[in-house]
Amino acid sequence: MYSLAVSDHIMIAHSFVGEIFGPAQQMHGATYGVVVEFRRPELDGNGLVCDIGLASETLKQVLAELNFKNLDELPEFRGRNTTTEFMAGEIFRRLKTRVKAGAVGPGTAEGLVSMKIVLHESPVAWASFEDSLG
């Protein structure tokens, strides 16, 4: 399996509900390092997994929807704990929609079989979400 990864980062604010979260129940900020890995079993006719420039730009566009936002105030997250794990899945869903629409190169979506999103919450802690693009 071939893969290509690009990265960026976002800064968000949020709070959690539930005793398990201790002091994180209060409003706090997080800066996530975000890595997306695109995978396909065979390279395309140009020897690529996907266009690295388009992959970087697409990730940047998806993250712009969340960057510098208080996630508690966004209607789509109302009533949800926007944990690192949850946000990895959310970024995957948003990227998948764009990949399927051809955002990482014409004809590329057909060859890509999966993606993995990794959110680095700190140098020693991260969470990920991966799934097929089918």
Taking only the tens place, the pLDDT of each residue in 5-14 is: 999 999 999 9
Residue 112 has pLDDT above 90, yes or no: yes
Residue 3 has pLDDT above 80, yes or no: yes
Mean pLDDT in residue range 99-125 = 92
What pLDDT sits at residue 23? 96
Q: What is the DSSP string of 32-93?
A: EEEEEEEEESS--TTS-SS-HHHHHHHHHHHHHTTTTEEGGG-GGGTT----HHHHHHHHHH
pTM, two decimal places: 0.95
In a domain, 59, yes or no: no
Domain tally, the chain: 1
In a domain, 113, yes or no: yes
In a domain, 109, yes or no: yes
In a domain, 124, yes or no: yes
In a domain, 58, yes or no: no
In a domain, 62, yes or no: no
Number of Cβ within a 10 Å radius of residue 119: 25
Mean pLDDT in residue range 79-104 = 96
Mean pLDDT in residue range 30-45 = 96
What pLDDT sits at residue 109? 75
What pLDDT sits at residue 108? 79
| Residue ranges making up the domain that contains 38 | 2-48+67-132
In a domain, 123, yes or no: yes
Who wins on pLDDT, 107 or 33?
33
* Encoded tokens for 99: 């990949």
Give the HSE-up count for residue 134: Cα atoms under 13 Å, Cβ half-sphere: 3
CA 5 to chain centre: 12
